[in-house]
Amino acid sequence: MEAQVESQHKACMAKCLELARKSPPKPTNFRVGAMIIRESDLSTIAQGYTLELPGNTHAEQCCFIKLAEQHSTTEEGLAKAITGPHALYTTVEPCFKRLSGNLPCVERVIRQSSWIKTVYVGVQEPETFVGQNPGRKMLEDAGIQVVLVDGLEDEILAVATAGHIKDA
């Protein structure tokens, strides 16, 4: 049974990786894919990728924006519009700081802690832009479980950092 659940998580992460591939490679961000899954029936209720929507958007942010539109509410209003436990899958750990001035993804997820109960991540956020990420602890302190999904790390990092300038 545990192997089946593990393979389901890996399959969801593989779908997120395919979403991440749609993000344009740039030297100033990570290419990330994300999905929100309803835990009761394992259906995908939203998906997104970095820069999918206008405004220097991150993958998780795109999921929330699209969900808010589906529910005719704001991102802040989602906590009232959605009930029951859901999980967020994201190829790279949610950011805790945005250099662009946008709300960090960790804060966006914490705002939805009434219904997002687990965050599954493919890799921890590399320290490239903002240093060490305390996001996992922030999420856990808010009552959200964070689970690392093993098996796709190398591929996720290759996609996430495509377009970055490599040290010579």
pLDDT of residue 129: 55
**DSSP strand E in the chain: where?**
33-38, 43-49, 86-92, 116-123, 145-148
* DSSP 8-state symbol, 149: -
> Which pair of tokens denotes residue 95?
């950011």
Q: Which amino acid is at 73?
A: T
Locate 45 and state its tokens: 């209720």
Cβ burial of 83 (10 Å; 0-12, 13-18, 19+) is: exposed
* pLDDT value, residue 1: 56
Active site residue 127: no
pLDDT score recorded for residue 130: 54
pLDDT at 131: 56
pLDDT of residue 135: 85
**Between the CA of residue 2 and those of 15, 55, 93, what are the distances in Å?**
20, 40, 23
* Candidate list 60, 76, 127, 155, residue with the active-site label: 60
Type of residue found at 124: Q
Average pLDDT of adjacent 10-residue blocks, the chain of 168 residues: 77 96 90 96 96 94 97 95 96 86 92 97 73 82 95 93 73
Domain 2-160 has CATH 3.50.50.60: no
Closest CA to 32 of 116, 120, 102: 120
Q: What's residue 168's pLDDT?
A: 44
